């Protein structure tokens, strides 16, 4: 038994020496390969280098050495470069333009070797952060460090071209990953967050319609404090489409706190306030939005509609309820914004119709309210007098309503609701001919 132990112990130095030889052998084969680059690259040297360095990278004695991973990075970058050349060569017969050929080659090439090279870069950084920082800045103490710096720089170039190539071939899922990898590499090398490529990754994930990556990349930008309103918008829309209301609202609220002036986020929040009947909160947002976009016809219409709803509240059954104390003021506010929307003329025909119809309906309803309110207070003795007075005031608003409803009908010629409202108003204002004409049109509808 003792003899066996002695034999085992005697073998240990040989094993360690053997593994160090693997690192040295990898370097020698890599150097041999690099010496052939100016003439006719001999890939067999590179494959020998790969075999040796993989063994060294998996051995306890050498796997945590910077030298091991420096050579491994260079070897795998060279392997990827050879694969890329082979991919481009295959396309020579079908794509004449060199730039297009290279882009397509980047779109098609396998990327496993480049990923392995990047893992070794990350490992070097873990083992000796200070040395890595120096090398990443190009502050090299030896020729070998200089070659490592060149390989790391090549990785970044390859990642950028791969992202573009995958995007060109509409491989958006893969493009997203490479834009993210490039962003991480640039951040690691410069110490500055690469906002543009993180953003590109988010856009590609959206184009790929990959909900997992859409959430992941946009969330990452938020966590890194490099987000724009777009990131919050994307997550809000994504989670809303997945019926994850809690998460959607969480990111909408966070986005509003970070970008209080962003119109999109403000409008989304306003929609929610309106759905919940929180009209005053909706108004605060709308006023802020209109201050930024006074010529936005849709915003003018929406705020007019909010004032309209505040002036004419509905009960649970949908019937009119008691008018608010500031009813007149609210009606005139609604009129002001509806009129601005009409003047600005929304580009959407549906929005334009709604704006015209609602302004006409507002005048009609206000005329009705004035008349009914007067009749409630009238006594038997002054009923006729009051009725005459209020008829005149109501008539003013009935007549104001007609042109807008007529324009609305021009936009939607067969809208029964508009026709019915106009028929009533024609009769009320004494225009029996038009009333009968509209009545016939309504009868003619299928």
For the chain, domain boundaries: 19-169, 295-446
Q: How far apart are the first and last CA of the chain?
A: 106
- Half-sphere CA count of 312, side-chain side, radius 13 A: 22
Q: Give Cα 406 distance to the centre of its chain.
A: 41
- Give the CATH superfamily of 295-446: Tetratricopeptide repeat domain (1.25.40.10)
pLDDT at 371: 75
Query: Which band of pLDDT confidence, cut at 50, 70 and 90, is reported for residue 2?
Result: very low
Q: How many CB atoms lie within 10 A of CB 60?
A: 8
CB 205 within 8 A of CB 179: no
Would you say residue 258 has pLDDT above 50?
yes
User: In angstroms, what CA-CA distances link 212 with 289, 319, 423?
Assistant: 32, 45, 55
Query: Which band of pLDDT confidence, cut at 50, 70 and 90, is reported for residue 320?
Result: low
Biggest CA–CA distance in the chain, Å, is 132
Q: What are 382-395's pLDDT values in tens digits?
A: 555 656 666 778 88
* Rg, the chain, Cα only: 37
CB 101 within 8 A of CB 92: yes
User: In angstroms, what CA-CA distances link 233 with 126, 239, 245, 302, 371?
Assistant: 36, 10, 14, 20, 47
User: In angstroms, what CA-CA distances link 432 with 248, 360, 364, 423, 424?
Assistant: 55, 20, 18, 9, 10
Query: Comparing C-alpha atoms, which of 319, 322, 311 is closest to residue 362?
Result: 311
Model pTM?
A: 0.61
Q: What are 32-85's pLDDT values in tens digits?
A: 999 999 888 999 999 999 999 999 999 888 999 999 999 999 999 999 999 999
What's the count of helices (H) and strands (E) in the chain, helices before strands? Answer: 20, 0
pLDDT at 299: 87
More confident position, 44 or 288: 44
DSSP-based three-state secondary structure for 314: strand
Distance CA 281, CA 268 (A): 12
pLDDT at 7: 41
Q: What are 129-172's pLDDT values in tens digits?
A: 999 988 888 888 899 999 999 999 999 999 999 999 899 989 99
> Residue written as tokens 């694969």?
83
CB 263 within 8 A of CB 276: no
DSSP-based three-state secondary structure for 320: strand
CB 259 within 8 A of CB 265: yes
């Amino acid at each position: 038994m003792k003899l066996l132990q002695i034999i085992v112990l005697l073998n240990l130095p040989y094993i360690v020496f053997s593994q160090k030889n693997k690192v040295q052998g990898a370097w020698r084969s890599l150097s041999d390969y690099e010496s052939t680059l100016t003439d006719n690259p001999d890939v067999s040297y590179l494959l020998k280098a790969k075999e040796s360095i993989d063994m060294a990278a998996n051995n306890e004695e050498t796997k945590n050495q910077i030298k091991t991973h420096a050579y491994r990075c260079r070897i795998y970058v060279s392997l990827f470069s050879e694969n890329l050349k082979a991919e481009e060569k295959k396309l020579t017969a079908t794509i004449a333009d060199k730039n297009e050929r290279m882009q397509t080659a980047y779109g098609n090439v396998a990327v496993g070797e480049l990923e392995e090279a990047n893992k070794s870069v990350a490992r070097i950084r873990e083992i000796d952060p200070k040395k890595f920082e120096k090398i990443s800045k190009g502050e090299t103490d030896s020729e070998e460090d200089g070659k490592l710096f060149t390989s790391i720089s090549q990785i970044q170039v390859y990642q950028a071209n791969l992202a573009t190539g995958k995007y060109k071939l509409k491989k958006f899922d893969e493009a997203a990953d490479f834009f993210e990898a490039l962003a991480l590499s640039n951040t690691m090398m410069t110490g500055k967050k690469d906002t543009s490529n993180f953003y590109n990754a988010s856009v590609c994930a959206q184009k790929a319609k990959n909900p997992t990556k859409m959430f992941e990349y946009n969330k990452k930008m938020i966590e890194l404090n490099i987000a724009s309103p777009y990131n919050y918008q994307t997550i809000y829309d994504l989670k809303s489409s997945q019926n994850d209301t809690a998460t959607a609202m969480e990111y909408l609220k966070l986005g509003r706190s970070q970008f209080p002036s962003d119109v999109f986020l403000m409008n989304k929040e306003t929609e929610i306030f309106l759905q919940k009947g929180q009209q005053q909160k909706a108004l605060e947002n709308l006023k802020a939005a209109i201050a930024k976009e006074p010529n936005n016809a849709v915003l003018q219409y929406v705020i007019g509609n909010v004032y309209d709803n505040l002036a004419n509240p509905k009960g649970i059954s949908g019937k009119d309820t008691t008018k608010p104390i500031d009813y007149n003021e609210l009606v005139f506010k609604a009129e002001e914004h509806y009129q601005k929307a009409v003047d600005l003329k929304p580009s959407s025909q549906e929005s334009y119709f709604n704006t015209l119809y609602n302004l006409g309906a507002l005048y009609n309803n206000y005329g009705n309210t004035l008349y009914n309110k007067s009749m409630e207070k009238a006594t038997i003795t002054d009923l006729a007098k009051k009725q005459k007075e209020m008829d005149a005031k109501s008539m003013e608003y009935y007549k104001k309503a007609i042109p807008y409803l007529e324009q609305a009908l021009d936009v939607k010629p067969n809208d029964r609701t508009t026709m019915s409202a106009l028929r009533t108003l024609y009769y009320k204002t004494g225009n029996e001919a038009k009333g009968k004409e509209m009545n016939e049109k309504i009868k003619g509808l299928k």
